Structure 1
Amino acid sequence: MEKLICTVLLSLALGCGSTQIKESNTSEISNSPDGLKARVDAVEKKDDMVMDQKETSFSNSTGVGEIISFLSSNGLKGRDSGSEGIAKAADFIEKVFLNNGVAPYFNSYRDTLSNFSEPAYNMVGFVEGSDPELKKEFLVVGAHYDHIGVIKAVAGDSIANGANDNASGTTTVLELARYFGNAKTNKRSIIFALFSAEEKGLLGSIHLAKKLKEENLNLYAMLNFEMVGVPLKEKDYFMYITGYEASNLAEVSNNYAKENLIGFLPTAKEFDLFKRSDNYPFHTEFGVPSQTYCTFDFTNFDHYHKVGDEVSLMDFEHMAAVVNKTIPVLEGIANASSQELKYK
């Protein structure tokens, strides 16, 4: 999350998660064009399963592991905005969109930022809704795919790989895009947005929110994913949302999930996380429910903006569960006959 105060992290008793890599072949990752193609092809192998599988088994640990392992590999050098590393991530995102029925929302998938000095762009895909009227209403499903790049070395490692922050959220959005791009089960239209320059001050989402507002987009809600790579501990809910008390999103999510999927995290309110991620510019511009799903609670991950934010600490089974549990929620919200999400 953008600009979380370092002293906040130091003042809390943070504990490193005990999760481990599952079904990973990360030692053989290649950053060459052939290696990138192989990894995208591996993601695509499961496309023909979409209509045959239940929603709860669409994503799996192998699939999410392949995606996040590439996005947080050393060859991408921490995905700093405007860098060669983040350009490789953009190439990967584009191919996933292109090969899974997700069209460019603009003339290209790449939407160049107007508020950042270096060449940088959001990646913006689109799955049109199936209902003649409801498709005029839009959901934005997003995450930032940038990180902080190369920083001061610790034990010889200077690459801040950003696996949890936020290759995990990017992986979630790509899996959701892959599902809806193939299944086409959404009556409302969905924009899948991967933001650059979040770490520079939410610049990517500020740019896109303003641009869509100027186009008079009929935005129903913005649902963002941030730091979902490791599970919550000792909670009776699976995820939390920022701005929990501001809307009925938790209630609606739990209804469609048929479980206690979303709960209230007091520290999210205490540190005002609602304003610290890419949901916030959409709230500011549109005034519609715009919130972030997250499983980072200040106690389960000790590597925020550090070189230790590595894929080896990510829980792939948990990440697949995030996708699978979110699919019926998004389908429910996208297909409801009326706009049930409301700010209180």
Structure 2
Amino acid sequence: MKKILLVVGTLFAISCGSSRSVVTKTTSASGPEGVKGSVAETTSEVKVKNVAKTAFTSSERVGDIMKYLASDDLKGRDSGSEGIEMAATYIENYFKSYHVKPYFESYRDTLSNFKDTSYNVVGVVEGNDPTLKNEYILVGAHYDHIGTIAPENGDYIANGANDNASGTTTVMELARYFGTHKNNKRSLIFALFSAEEKGLLGSEHLAKKLKEQNLNLYAMLNFEMTGVPLQGKDYFVYITGYDNSNLAEVSNSYAKENLVGFLPTAKEYNLFQRSDNYPFHKEFGVPSHTYCTFDFTNFNHYHKVGDEIDLMDFGHMATLVNKLLPVLEGIANAPIQEVKINSK
């Protein structure tokens, strides 16, 4: 993320339907026979109910993804590294497992603005409405981190669990839901960005590329540092650029609770411009926001080797996904575009 200057020093901040049966494939963090990110061949039949009544994901599922993405094996997922290549393969296999198709010819979108070979991983679940499917909602997060750094107590791997394996996991689970259910009228693009830590380069590359292709983008919903819960707030998650659109109001309406709130600190330090929502705001001028649960007081290991999975709250992360599903489903299926830019 980008630097933010605080008074006491420099901090870094985050640049109803009926039941039906479906067959799902399962993916383990290590994969069958130890192959990282492979797709298990076994299938199981599960009952899928309205997400508002039945939890879709769980702390165990979230934990399995996180334990791989933030493992020492990936060496901090620095852009252009072997570790982030492993992460990309894992995400590709996850998308494939749950019927999220490649958006381009392959899942990999090679960056044109970074010196080392790096990829965004981009999938799509086409909308099921003949007209609304031509409108797109992009759901994203960056999956890169800063790699290896100066050692602390012998540990030199900045695993990036909260930043941003957490946001990546959120997007992967949202993709699993829609890839499995196919109940979205508008088309959903799921994008995991590389080189965010180098200056939002992955999202900048993709935003320009999609703009050149005249994508009919409705909104961009980004996820950043969602691994630990807010404390002392009457809402569950905040969005950056809160005043820029009515996304919070729409989100809370579909969630049927005060899910999304306003964090004054986010406005004070202009977090709206410091994560991967911003390039899409610049290129398309559509509602583009980041959902986040980092508030400068609940996590002290930003860009440090201490950003480890043992500090993450997998139950909180699973709850966030489950609460967001009716929100994203509602926005994707509404007959009109409800989320609108606020007039200045």
With structure 1 as the length reference, what TM-score do the two structures score?
0.90
Within-5 A mapping of 1:172-211: 172-211=170-209
Give distance in 1, aligned partners of 2:4 and 2:55. 38
The SS at the match of 1:221 is strand
Q: Answer whether contact 2:3 2:10 (CA < 8 A) is retained.
A: no
Q: In the alignment, is the contact (CA less than 8 A) between 1:50 and 1:183 conserved in 2?
A: no
* Residue ranges of structure 2 left out of the alignment (5+ in a row): 12-27
Deviations 1:58-87 (A, max 9, x none): 010000000011000000000000000000
Opposite residue 77 of structure 2, the aligned amino acid is: R
Query: Does the C-alpha gap of structure 1 residues 225 and 9 become closer, same or farther in structure 2, counting only changes over 3 Å?
Result: farther
* Counterpart residue identity of residue 3, structure 1: K
Q: Paired residue for 2:34?
A: 34
Structure 1 residue runs of 4 or more that deviate by more than 6 Å after TM superposition: none
Quick one: which amino acid aligns to residue 51 of structure 2?
K
Q: 1:158 aligns with which of 151, 156, 159?
A: 156
Secondary structure of 1:5's aligned partner = strand
How many angstroms apart in 1 are the aligned matches of 2:100 and 2:29? 25
Match in the other structure for 2:109: 111
Secondary structure of the equivalent of 2:121?
strand
1:25 aligned residue = none
The percent of aligned pairs where both chains have the same amino acid is 68
What CA distance in whole angstroms lies between the structure 2 residues aligned with 1:234 and 1:54?
Answer: 27
Aligned CA distance change for structure 1 residues 197 and 31 (closer, same or farther; 3 Å): farther
Counterpart CA distance in 2 for 1:220 and 1:33 is: 42
CA–CA distance in 2 between the matches of 1:273 and 1:37?
Answer: 33
CA distance in 1, matches of 2:33, 2:204: 32
Residue deviations 1:285-340 (CA, integer Å, cap 9, x gap): 00000000000000000000000000000000000011000100000000000011
Number of the residue aligned with 2:331: 333
In structure 1, stretches of 5+ residues that fail to align are 13-27
Matched, 1:4 2:3: yes
For residues 192 and 30 of structure 1, the distance between their equivalents in structure 2, rounded to whole angstroms, comes to 23
More helix by share: 1
Q: Which residue of 2 aligns with 1:138?
A: 136
Equivalence for 1:102: 100
Q: What are the superposed Cα offsets for residues 70-123 of structure 1, whole Å, 9 maximum, x if unpaired?
A: 000000000000000000000100000011010000000000000000000000
Residue of structure 1 aligned with 2:301, choices 300, 303, 326: 303
Q: Select which of 316, 319, 331 maps to 1:318.
A: 316
Q: How does 1:4-23 map to 2 (within 5 A)?
A: 4-5=3-4, 10=9
Higher strand share: 2
CA distance in 2, matches of 1:8, 1:61: 37
Deviation at 1:225, TM superposition (A): 0.2
Distance 1:138 1:180 in 2: 14
- The whole-number CA distance in structure 2 between the counterparts of 1:319 and 1:125 is 22
Return the offset for 1:51: 2.4
* Alignment: residue pair count: 325
- SS in structure 2 at match of 1:57: coil
Partner of residue 58, structure 1 = 56
SS at match of 2:137: strand
Higher relative contact order (CA 8 A, sep 6+): 1
1:6, distance to aligned residue in structure 2 (A): 6.6
Root-mean-square deviation (CA), in Å?
Answer: 2.1
Q: Secondary structure at the match of 1:298?
A: coil
Q: Which of 146, 168, 171 is the matching residue for 1:170?
A: 168
Aligned residue number for residue 283 of structure 1: 281
Cα distance in 1 for residues equivalent to 2:10 and 2:227: 23
TM-score normalised by structure 2 residue count: 0.90
